[in-house]
Amino acid sequence: DNGQPSKKKPISPDEVAKHNKPDDCWVVINGYVYDVTFFIPNHPGGEDVIKANAGKDVTAMFAPLHAKGTLEKNIPEDKKLGPLSKPMPKKLVCPPYAPGESPYEIMTKQKLRDNMPPLGNVLNLYDFERLASKILTNQAWAYYSSGADDEITYRENHNAYHRIFFKPHILVDVEHVNLKTTMLGEKTDVPFYVSATALCKLGNPEGGEVDIAKGCGSTSYSVPQMISTLASCSLDEVAEAKVNDKQLQWFQLYVNSDRKITRNLIKHAEELGLKAIFVTVDAPSLGNREKDQKIKFTTQSSGGPKILQKKEDEKKEKNSDGASKALSKFIDPSLSWEDIAKLREITKLPIVIKGVQRAEDAVRAAQMGCQGVVLSNHGGRQLDFSRAPIEVLAETMPILKHHGLDKNFDVFVDGGIRRGTDILKALCLGATGVGLGRPFLYANSCYGQQGVAHAIDIITKELEMSMRLLGVSKIEDLNPGFLDLTSLHSRSVSVARDSLYENSYKEPQLAKFLID
Ligand code: FMN
């Protein structure tokens, strides 16, 4: 269904094929013909990709990157030309966008996709990551996995958890462990949520964020989902995909330079029953993600590798950006605390500032009436050498307490959380809840809704077991006294090697494909 009215006359493939020039450019999307000539200079993904595919059916390239409704919003009526009378010939149908990949690589990845291990073989969140690294397109893998610059923060986010150890209590009745808690005034079954990640359709072209919504509501605990401004499904689609009424959804807001657009987005999120606005403030300019930039949003006609031959080609290449940059041009770099105060006035929904990296800013957010903060560095994708959020949490909670702001103010953390013990450490330090980004992207890319549900099961079971072993049966009983924080700030500690131990130790293996 292309969503377009059918009163216009059908157009033949031959006619479409004639309009194949930059100054006369028609394309077919979902069986409907559009004249996109006027839009070429404004296309956020760059001009080249449209110009190179003039006169073709571009559905397979378009779908993973654009939410439903994108065409309705951006193409005026007179440029919606009419339905296609019959399918375009094969040579004028673009393959899915896979820059830099040979047909052999594409085929190999498809073969692996057809031989995914049963979900029961996936025991931890790293298994999803390894499988995803083998089957995702180069573009999706680069976009999802990249961190900024040398990826020091990306790795530090997780490594910092390794510098905290537990001090368990023994002989506590832990027969029943309760993971229920409250986030932003709403009851939740578990103290974690799926954090906002853009472009979920890059990895799961059919389901995207909709499959995450279904996965979040289909286990015995329902898990909150934060939906990105840059989601590849529309907000309506994701909201509709909720499985049950108690399922929480939140809206992640990138503030647009055009505030009218931002106001409309917030209003729409309210109408759809989303329960909070998370304003992301750590991306006034996009971080330097080099893996992502190397795979550019550029011309691709055959699905084969792109080889630059001439100087002119290099010049053209300059205009195109990596996926992140291409999508984020609208984000307002002038955003300031005054804007947050204005946002406070236009919605009654809780406002949470996402991307706080020092205690003073958490205090300021609390003082100006925000309901919470996410201590986050965007999964290591923005300023390299930002500190790990868990370290910032340990610094922030005592300061909030000192100002009497630790009650009725929610402090979330995200970045590098991969194990139940990571969550437990954050909860001991006073976090209300934690967000996971990439693990759910990978689970969704490999197995869709079932993968998301399985990831939830894995992390919930890990958390429950770790709590039991720590000697705690409910979240409110957790406190920093359970942790040995001696090494938290020691970013590198030199210890003597234990060669007997190391040589006899066998590394655990990640999940294998059936044809490994
Ligand atoms: N954060 C946002 O606020 N908005 C986004 O659109 C967004 N897109 C992301 C896309 C990708 C591929 C990734 C990996 C992260 C994105 N984030 C975004 C950051 C996540 O919300 C979260 O802060 C981060 O992924 C947490 O780190 P983790 O991936 O190690 O769990």
ipTM of the complex: 0.99
CA of 278 to the centre of ligand 1 (A): 12
Helix, strand, coil in percent for the chain, rounding step 5: 40, 15, 45
Separation CA 109–CA 88 (nearest Å): 26
Q: What is the pLDDT of residues 180-220, one digit of tens each?
A: 999 999 999 999 999 999 999 999 998 999 999 999 999 88
Q: DSSP characters for 364-390?
A: HHHHTT-SEEEE--TTTTSSTTPPPHH
The ligand 1 atom nearest the CA atom of 324: 10
- To test ligand 1's pocket by mutation, which of 195, 256, 330, 356 has the most ligand atoms within 8 angstroms of CB? 195
Ligand 1 atom closest to Cα of 376?
23
Q: Which residue has the higher pLDDT, 456 or 93?
A: 456
pLDDT in tens, 99-132: 778 888 888 999 999 999 999 999 999 999 999 9
The reported pLDDT for the residue numbered 326 is 64
Q: In this predicted structure, what is the pLDDT of residue 327?
A: 67
Question: In this model, does residue 72 exceed pLDDT 80?
Answer: no
Each residue of 21-35: pLDDT tens digit? Answer: 988 999 999 899 999
| CA of residue 195 to ligand 1 center, whole Å | 6
Looking at the CA of residue 282, tell me the nearest atom of ligand 1: 3
Q: How far is the CA of 138 from the centre of ligand 1 (A)?
A: 18
What is the rounded average pLDDT of the residues 435-440? 97
Would you please indicate which residues are annotated as catalytic (active-site) residues?
A: 378
Task: Tell me the three-class secondary structure of 176-224, residue by residue.
Answer: CCECCEEECCEEECCCEEECCCCCHHHCCCCCHHHHHHHHHHCCCCCCC
pLDDT of res. 471: 98
pLDDT band at 150 (very low <50, low <70, confident <90, very high): confident
Q: Is the pLDDT of residue 3 over 60?
A: no
Residue nearest to atom 16 of ligand 1 (CA): 197
Q: How many CB atoms lie within 10 A of CB 330?
A: 15
Angstrom distance (rounded) from CA 440 to CA 448: 10
The conformation of residue 81, written as its DSSP 8-state character, comes to: E
Instruction: Return the ligand 1 atom nearest residue 226 CA.
Output: 21
Ligand 1 center to 87 CA (angstroms): 38
Please name the residue whose Cα sits nearest to atom 23 of ligand 1.
378
For ligand 1, the distance from its centroid to the CA atom of residue 379, given in whole angstroms, is 6
Strands 249-253, 56-57: parallel, antiparallel or unpaired by DSSP?
unpaired
Q: Which residues line ligand 1 (CB under 6 A)?
A: 143-144, 157, 195-198, 228, 230, 252, 280, 354, 376, 378-379, 381, 414-417, 435-438, 441
Nearest CA to ligand 1 atom 7: 197
pLDDT over 90 at 459, yes or no: yes
Question: Can you tell me which atom of ligand 1 is nearest the CA of 278?
Answer: 3
Question: Mind giving me the DSSP string for 483-511?
Answer: EE-TTTT-S-------HHHHHHPPPPPPP
Nearest-CA residue for atom 17 of ligand 1:
197
Rounded CA gap, 327 and 194, in Å? Answer: 21
114 DSSP 8-state letter: T
> What are the backbone dihedrals phi and psi of residue 229, each rounded to the nearest 5 degrees, phi first?
-55, -30
Q: What is the pTM of this model?
A: 0.84
